[in-house]
Amino acid sequence: MLNKRYLVLEDGTVYKGYALGSDELLMGEIVFNTSMTGYQETISDPSYTGQIITFTYPLIGNYGINRDDFESLRPTLNGIVVREACLNPSNFRSSKSLDEMMKFYKIPGISGVDTRSLTRKIRKHGVLKAGFTDDEQEITTLVENLKTLPELKNEVSQVSSVRPYISTGDGYKIVLIDYGKKENIVRELNRRGCDVTVVPYQTSLEEILNISPDGIMVSNGPGNPESVQDTIKTIQSIVGKIPFFGICLGHQLFALSQGATSFKMKFGHRGANHPVQNLVTGRVDLTSQNHGYAIDEASIKHTDLEITHIALNDRSIEGLKHKTYPAFSVQYHPEASPGPHDSNYLFDEFIEMIKSYKAKEQTINA
Ligand SMILES: NC(=O)CC[C@H](N)C(=O)O
């Protein structure tokens, strides 16, 4: 027998369903994700720290949870909402059900929710605060608590690496500044032979330069990009000195470091089917996305940045590059995981950028 549970929104809307995962109930900003596969990678993406995900795909958990597909050591989101949770998964790689994994990591959730109506509500209203309760009598108090729940602030400190570590390779030396990175960024760099040093997000410029990197990457991560202001200066000093590539939060921080500004979107982009156009080649990629903030187009005019990619759904900025320095960034996820690999080529372009920067440096020094 499944126990009943309620999903409550700050505007007083209540969805009745069944308890899923942990009984230690949490609150958070509720966002929707439109991916049709890859729930394990999505759930373990540190950029969702403190948020509650509702999946628009109606059946979640059917191939279970396996040892290898986590994008971080442990999921750090505050809840999962599904239409139907499969409790008896079938896959040779599966070692746990979704429900067991959620109990293990203390992630609460609910199944049996009309996720279609919930998603339409979020699209109309914008993201909302939400929480769970198993007791009908507590709904009114929960609504009050949700109204005063603070905005996400500095979740990066919860998910960035505590100390540096190396994922070895025999190619270019890359420093990956970790704001809550997805593992596949490291894997993609390693696949191209790179020797990757992952460093905590507050690592100083001096410490980074001591590693003598050939290239710098700034990762994805949770929360508002403006909440990590103190680290933007480091990024500012790197741009122009060492080839630079930023992903998602890394893209936002790159833009902020050059004088642009960011804003919170109404309901963001989260899913594996977001069309993005490369304005240089005209090519359209289907991309994996997870962001609630974006860079303000008007603010780009006062910078040395150029818009390279736009979202075809709402024409928001999806990619930037510096007009003179070897530095670029994308708002979406070329590392996919989950999602299409269309924009994987950006890692190759980063390697090429390092190669030509080195060749230029050698000519100057000769
Ligand atoms: N995936 C990310 O890096 C997300 C960046 C930022 N936290 C946002 O929501 O916009």
My answer on whether 186 and 95 are in the same domain is: no
My answer on whether 12 and 143 are in the same domain is: yes
Rounded to a whole number of angstroms, the CA Rg of the chain reads 21
My answer on whether 231 and 303 are in the same domain is: yes
Q: What pLDDT does 265 receive?
A: 98
Among 283, 286, 277, residue whose Cα is nearest residue 333 = 286
Residue 250 CA: nearest ligand 1 atom is 3
Q: What pLDDT does 27 receive?
A: 98
DSSP assignment of 55-118, as one string?
ESSSEE-TT-EESS--SSSS---SEEE-SEE-SS---TTEEE-HHHHHHHTT-EEEES--HHHH
My answer on whether 204 and 330 are in the same domain is: yes
My answer on whether 208 and 230 are in the same domain is: yes
Which domain covers residue 231, as residue numbers? 156-365
240 token code pair: 């122009």
Domain stops at, among 121, 147, 173: 147
Predicted structure pTM score? 0.97
My answer on whether 267 and 329 are in the same domain is: yes
My answer on whether 141 and 193 are in the same domain is: no
Give the chain's domain count.
2
Residues flanking ligand 1, CB < 6 Å: 47, 220-223, 248-249, 290-293
My answer on whether 160 and 141 are in the same domain is: no
Residue-averaged pLDDT of the chain:
97
Q: What pLDDT does 365 receive?
A: 80
Among 39, 105, 25, 51, residue whose Cα is nearest residue 73 = 105
**Judging by beta carbons within 10 Å of its beta carbon (0-12, 13-18, 19+), is residue 273 exposed, middle or buried?**
middle
Among the listed residues 41, 248, 291, 322, the single catalytic one is 248
CA distance 241 to 213: 10
C-alpha distances in Å from residue 355, one per residue of 159, 209, 242, 326, 351: 32, 18, 12, 11, 6
Residue-wise pLDDT for 232-265, tens only, equals 999 999 999 999 999 999 999 999 999 999 999 9
Q: What pLDDT does 350 receive?
A: 98
Q: What pLDDT does 131 receive?
A: 98
- 291 catalytically annotated: no
Residue-wise pLDDT for 263-310, tens only, equals 999 999 999 999 999 999 999 999 999 999 999 999 999 999 999 999
My answer on whether 267 and 353 are in the same domain is: yes
My answer on whether 129 and 205 are in the same domain is: no
CA distance 260 to 305: 9
ipTM over 0.90: yes
My answer on whether 179 and 74 are in the same domain is: no
From ligand 1's centre to the CA of 47, what distance in Å? 6
Residue 251 CA: nearest ligand 1 atom is 3
Domain stops at, among 147, 164, 194: 147
